A and B are shown apart, each in its own frame.
Chain A
């Protein structure tokens, strides 16, 4: 559950047509963003609904850094007002679709950053961004041997010899 702290009215500017939200990153950076931009995030939308019920204004504390948060806001800003099929809760899980060109450039970041973005997108429930990041990671491992995958993702072979030599120890019994 996110930590929600009450904020003073003066902290959050704007009461007009486009409401503003205060997002607080794990490194305690305060970022003000229009509600419309973040409406792609189901997590934020649910939080805002909660605010309306209590008629109080809050800041939303998020468990990731401002650097990652800014990247997510950049994504949401780019697709502000766009309908993306992946974000439609009624749509079936998408199959193999090519990554959008803008997303490709947007996700041209180092591996660790990509992993942080997908984790943040998952937390914020932005399915389209999760899907694009997952696609980017799947592309990263496509055609690679097991050893190459370990190297790319920084993991070690932790199987016992018996486990390792079966394609799937549970499968082959």
Chain B
């Protein structure tokens, strides 16, 4: 630090200003207009220069701030994370801060101070995500700033066919020439004229996503020389309504492949599909939606082993799904997501997939069942979803039903043209009978359509003797309320002694003897859909029976049911804990009318101006 004594800053700057403007002392408002204008310009110049000097002093001050100790590369790393949090290029015309939204991190990081701006502008990695919706000038600026750093291209092209003589820009002209540094390529829209331009190698490309409009009459194909057949780092491909040959993918190290709605016009065979799988052993995730190669003419017992596959998702006709499952071998840990559709009225064809799933779950062996959670969800009379999970997933002690959370080990969606309740009941019995449910811990039965058949709980789930948590919705809950208190089998015992001639029914085992938690959802206790008696009394009686037989419930949770507060209180006598959402269902209006006065009528406290304290919109002045 320089120890030379300096004059006080204020005095110094006043003196400097006086000195700089000393030659204007003779100029007065009464003088010549020409001289006054010249003097004013001179003062303006001095003010401007002083402003710049202030900026320079602020820069000097900023250099002393703690954040300035960070070297540029660390600051740039922080900006990289900030850019992920607040990406640029977002559009929302209805938001007041739409400009900030559009510029994202650029607006914040480059506007704090000069140093931040310099660091941000000179860090190429920050500029790799090209934002086409910010205009071509910005794209060019970003391409200039990104230098040799990775580029991420995500562009929505027009979905319509370009006019033959038009000048529609389909793709930024610089993209094909910069393919060598593109790390992600995502194009959606009209691709027919664009794909043939991408013929240079893409050695840095890791992810490719191409999609066109599903309704387009002509389908776009990936050309043979796509990316010069050289994209060695390509790991993920996602195609939607884009056709392809199985040998066209420019990488042999794919880990994820997702293809949807691709009607493949390129002559291919099931054998070529198997060749592709065999030549891509790195594949961990495969999804084929409505584009499964047909194995109907493939008469061969060839089976391709895919030991690295962690998730296999197939959606299409049941025969095609079965065709693929028959000719591949995956680890037992692979998560299967299957969606099978068929035209038959009985569901027989759909059920043909069950043995393959059971084989995958290892239920053909003598080992104990591995399924711990099972969910049965009927969307409508002809669409049923089953999900099975090997782990019992709980959150804060409550089971997380696999419908919403996580990926189940097996997800099976069956769609067939079942048209009657009886057929549906038989269909559901077959499915539940096929799944190894004896060791299941959590069960979710969710049938929310009015054609729901009356489930025979004992027949369908009677062997779930280890069940702890049960979640049931709507009509199936009505039969459950009764079944919970009845023995699963009735045992006739011969009495000895003085009652030797009498036979009586002994108590057989209860349904779900280990049940701890019951979740009831959308059950109408007041006017049941199917049950002719008092449903509330039936459930209470069942719970009481369980209590006396030392199989009482710990928790009864009631959501969106038609039930009243008194009934809830009485449930508390027969279970340890009742959790109720407070909904009274259809009785709610009546309830509100009864207590309306309490909320809206007399006696409600008003303030000195005659307004209640909640009324904040109206003031007395």
Query: B-contacting residues of A (Cβ < 8 Å)?
Result: 93, 95-96, 111-112, 115-116, 118-119, 122, 130-131, 134-135, 137-138, 141-146, 149-150, 153-161, 163-164, 167-172
Contact = CB atoms under 8 A, between A and B. Distances in A.
Nearest to A115: B66
Contact of B114 (A119, A122, A138, A159): A159
A145 B108 CA distance: 7
Interface in B105-156: 106-108, 110-114, 116-117, 120-121, 137-138, 141
Interface string B31-67: 0000000000000000000011001101101100111
B261 interface: no
A29 B86 CA distance: 42
Interface stretch (B14-22, B69-77, B238-246, B333-341): B69-77
A154 B67 CA distance: 8
Nearest to B76: A134
Given A118-B70, A119-B70, A138-B85, A155 B65 contact: yes
B81 interface: yes
Nearest to A150: B112
Contacts of B429: none
Contacts of A145: 100, 108
B84 interface: yes
Interface residues of B, number: 42
A122 B74 contact: yes
Contact of B82 (A93, A131, A141, A146): A141
A164 B111 contact: yes
B103 interface: yes
A91 B58 CA distance: 40
A63 B617 CA distance: 61
Nearest to B108: A146
A134 B78 contact: yes
B74 A118 contact: yes
B61 A115 contact: no
Contacts of A171: 106, 121, 138, 141
Contacts of B59: 158
B78 A150 contact: no
A138 B80 CA distance: 9
Interface of B: 51-52, 55-56, 58-59, 61-62, 65-71, 73-74, 77-78, 80-82, 84-86, 100, 103, 106-108, 110-114, 116-117, 120-121, 137-138, 141
Contacts of B111: 146, 159, 164, 167
**Nearest 6 pairs between A and B by C-beta?**
A158-B58, A138-B81, A96-B84, A158-B59, A154-B65, A153-B67
Given A138-B78, A145-B100, A154-B65, 9 more contacts: A96-B81, A96-B85, A119-B70, A122-B73, A142-B82, A155-B113, A156-B61, A159-B111, A159-B117
Contact of A158 (B55, B84, B138): B55
Contact of B78 (A137, A156, A167): A137
Contacts of A161: 51
Contacts of B137: 172
Contacts of B112: 146, 149-150, 153, 155, 157
B81 A134 contact: yes
Nearest to A119: B69
A24 B239 CA distance: 58
Given A144-B108, A158-B59, A167-B106, A122 B71 contact: yes
Contacts of A135: 81
A160 B52 contact: yes
17 contacts: A112-B66, A115-B70, A118-B74, A119-B69, A119-B70, A122-B70, A138-B81, A149-B108, A153-B65, A154-B66, A156-B62, A156-B113, A158-B62, A159-B113, A164-B111, A167-B110, A168-B120
A146 B113 CA distance: 9
Which has the most chain A C-beta neighbours within 10 Å: B68, B73, B81, B85? B81
A9 B58 CA distance: 51
A97 B51 CA distance: 43
Which has the most chain B C-beta neighbours within 10 Å: A112, A141, A157? A141
A143 to B, nearest CB: 8
Given A142-B85, A149-B112, A150-B113, A111 B78 contact: no
B70 A157 contact: no
A115 B107 contact: no
